[in-house]
Amino acid sequence: MARIAPNSKGYKYAGQKELILSRLRKIEGQARGISRMVEEDRYCVDIVQQLTALSSAADEVAMMILREHIEGCVADAIREQRGDQAIEELMGLIKKAIRR
């Protein structure tokens, strides 16, 4: 899959970086909590509910980054006549997301 290189200022999600990192730290904490639940032989349904919440939180972060990518990297690539490459990369990502 082709990759779009960042511009000289870095990747476009940089403006959201602290929020993204904060959410990822929460997800990390959720994962540790779920591990403890398994270690403690907690009820299966409770564990699955927590896994579902973790998955939803990860999906939200992915959507934040994807939005920044489209509004920044993809838009820049289109303006710089590299739109085909950007769209190919984006379509590959969407295909992977749909398959899971």
Angle at Cα 98 formed by Cα 48 and Cα 54, nearest 5°? 25
pTM confidence score: 0.81
Task: Please report, in tens digits, the pLDDT of each residue of the chain (100 residues total).
Answer: 555 555 555 666 777 899 999 999 999 999 999 999 999 999 999 999 999 999 999 999 999 999 998 998 899 999 999 999 999 999 999 999 888 7
What structural domains does the chain harbor?
A: 13-99 (1.20.58.1000)
Q: Are 46 and 16 in contact (CB under 8 A)?
A: no
